[in-house]
Structure formats: C-alpha cells, structure tokens
Amino acid sequence: MSIAEEVAAGPPTPERKLGKIDAWLESLSAEDRAAVDRIMADPEWRHVDVRALFARHGLEASPQSIGKVRQERYGYR
C-alpha cells in the first residue's frame, strides 16, 4: 500500500485494550453474561453484593469499579 493510499484510508483505529471486567465478561458463557446484565441493571443488587458474587466466580474488582461500569453501561444511579 502506498503512502497516498494509507492517508486516504484515514488514521488507524487504536487497538482497544480490554479492562479487567470486560475481559472477565468475555470469558463467560452467553447465559452467564445475560445473568450479569440482569444484576448489573438491577438496583436491588448493591455494588458490594455484585462484587462478592463476581469474586466467587473469578473476578476481583472493587465495588467502585463495578459501580462505574453500572453507571456507564446500565444507567444505574
């Protein structure tokens, strides 16, 4: 590919680095990911309870990290 072709194609998209929570989510089955989606969107589940459940299944993350993901992706307040 020539320089002109590369320039015309635009800048390369940066490689997305998965965070700890995203990498863990990708390792789960579709059924478990759906269950995670349900509890992350459910305000009845406190961040500390979600964290404890996730820790039992291999994810060590702080309640604050879980809260941030809940706010950004699930509209949790």
Q: What is the pLDDT of residues 36-75, one digit of tens each?
A: 999 999 999 998 999 999 999 999 999 889 989 999 988 8
Give the pair of three-digit tokens for residue 18.
């998965």
| pTM for this entry | 0.71
Q: How far, in Å, CA of 74 to CA of 66, rounded? A: 11
Give the pair of three-digit tokens for residue 38.
């349900």
pLDDT at 18: 78
Is residue 40 a contact partner of residue 74, using CB atoms and an 8 Å limit?
yes
Give the pair of three-digit tokens for residue 57.
């299944």
Question: What single-letter amino acid sits at 67?
Answer: G
Find the Cα–Cα–Cα–Cα dihedral 47, 73, 58, 39, rounded to 10°. 60
